[in-house]
Amino acid sequence: MSRRASALRDELLSLFRRGADAPLPSVEFDRLARSAFAVQFEGDPAYRAYCERRGADPFSVATWRDIPPVPARAFRDVAFASGPRGARSAVFLTSGTTAGSARRGAHHVPDLELYDASALAAFRRFLLPDGASCRFVSLIPSPLEAPDSSLSHMAGVVAGSFGQLGVGWFMHPSSGLDRAGLAAALEDAGAAGEPVLLLGTSLAFAAWLDELAAAGRRFALPDGSRLMDTGGSKGAKRSVPGQELRAAYGDLLGLPDHACVNEYGMTELCSQYYDRCLLDGIRGRGGLKASAPWLAALAADPETLAALPDGEPGVLRHVDLANLGSIVAVQTEDVGRVLDGHVELAGRAPGAEPRGCSLALELMLDAAE
């Protein structure tokens, strides 16, 4: 580990531990992002070759918006690793919903201490802004049963830190949803008057709520209960509109709209975005998602991947300082726009992948050979 990498790692860990509500001036984010880029340029030969082919290096990159991004699809073929190693590491695999299970991407995370500190700070800000204590009830498999899932790891980290009233895992990779155990846990929390924090994917919640509706069953969760869902309908037969889910959460679980927070994350990132609704105590900012100040986004032109002005739609790029050990700038095929630092999602790019992403992927793979 170089001195530069070690010092940057310590500075970032201190930043994350101060919390996601601590201010980070834009000039400081820019400095840290360019420092992370320099570490990765120096430490990853494949990434360095890719950047050089694009005419970029730490001396020519003027702002974080100029850092050469790696297409998310490249994680299927290249094992990015450049930053310092911590005491604990992991390799998280993508779901394979886009390219099939045989082409699962792999995110090598050499320092889980950075990952965990980032995840805890953002979760506390957007799911527990009032400092509530809740029973954690998860429709996400536990990290013991799904060790290569970044979502399961994140759920385990937050439940371990904030689930003082108890944690229950009711989704299992081998047997599916434990409906009886889930119902018993919710009934027990209701009888005790203890708030519940439900965690799950949108698809898991939709399937379970369909069953509740068909059976004519409802739960009245205690005051202060809340819910985090994540993901959409990518690779699934059924579309799950957000408005339909929120209506079902209210009708079948008794959760007010502002207590239902959607999370946007991806295996290739160590940080996440969340709805502001629980933080604001209202529906939020019209579907805009916020993040910790060490995660930033921009919309890029789908043809050239050039950064677009604030408010213009394009394909989303994320710069995540918690990705110090892999690639800080990740280019997605998700369509959306960025408004005053908030992300508005509009789905996936229709049809073939954007030309800019395709060309960047080819260049990355050539550089890795």
Q: What's the rounded mean pLDDT across residues 184-201?
A: 97
**What are the structural domain ranges in the chain?**
3-81+294-368, 115-290
Both structure tokens of 352? 């073939």
**Which stretch of DSSP H or E encloses residue 289?**
strand 289-291
Report d(CA 235, CA 232) in Å as an integer. Answer: 9
Architecture of domain 115-290: 3-Layer(aba) Sandwich (3.40)
Whole-angstrom distance, CA of residue 278 vs CA of residue 262: 10
Q: What is the mean pLDDT of the chain?
A: 92
Tens-digit pLDDT profile for residues 194-234: 999 999 999 999 999 999 999 999 999 999 999 999 985 44
pLDDT at 243: 84
Could you tell me the two tokens for 271?
A: 């940080």
135-138 and 196-201 strand pairing: parallel
C-alpha to C-alpha distances, 45 to 50, 58, 82, 183, 318, nearest whole angstrom = 9, 14, 9, 52, 22
**Residue 307 pLDDT greater than 60, yes or no:** yes
Closest C-alpha to 255, from 185, 188, 308, 197: 197
In angstroms, the CA 272 to CA 290 distance is 9
pLDDT digits (tens, 9 = 90+) for 241-288: 788 899 999 999 999 999 999 999 999 999 999 999 999 886 455 578
Question: Comparing C-alpha atoms, which of 262, 182, 191, 193 is closest to residue 227?
Answer: 262
pLDDT at 331 over 90: yes
**What does the pLDDT read at residue 95?**
78
Percentage of residues in the chain with pLDDT exceeding 90?
Answer: 81
**pLDDT for 139 beyond 70:** yes
The mean pLDDT of 172-191, rounded to a whole number, is 97
- 232 neighbors 240 (Cβ within 8 angstroms): yes
Q: For residue range 145-169, what is the model confidence (pLDDT) as tens digits?
A: 999 999 999 999 999 999 999 999 9
Checking if the pLDDT of 34 tops 50, the result is yes
**Where are the alpha helices (H) located in 143-264, listed in sequence order?**
150-162, 179-192, 202-215, 242-253
Say whether pLDDT at 48 is over 50. yes
**DSSP codes of every residue in 224-242:** T-EEEEE---TT-SS---H
CA triplet 347, 350, 355: central angle to 5 degrees? 115
Model confidence at 361, pLDDT cuts 50, 70, 90, reads confident
Return the pLDDT at 1.
60
Which pLDDT does position 349 carry in this prediction?
73
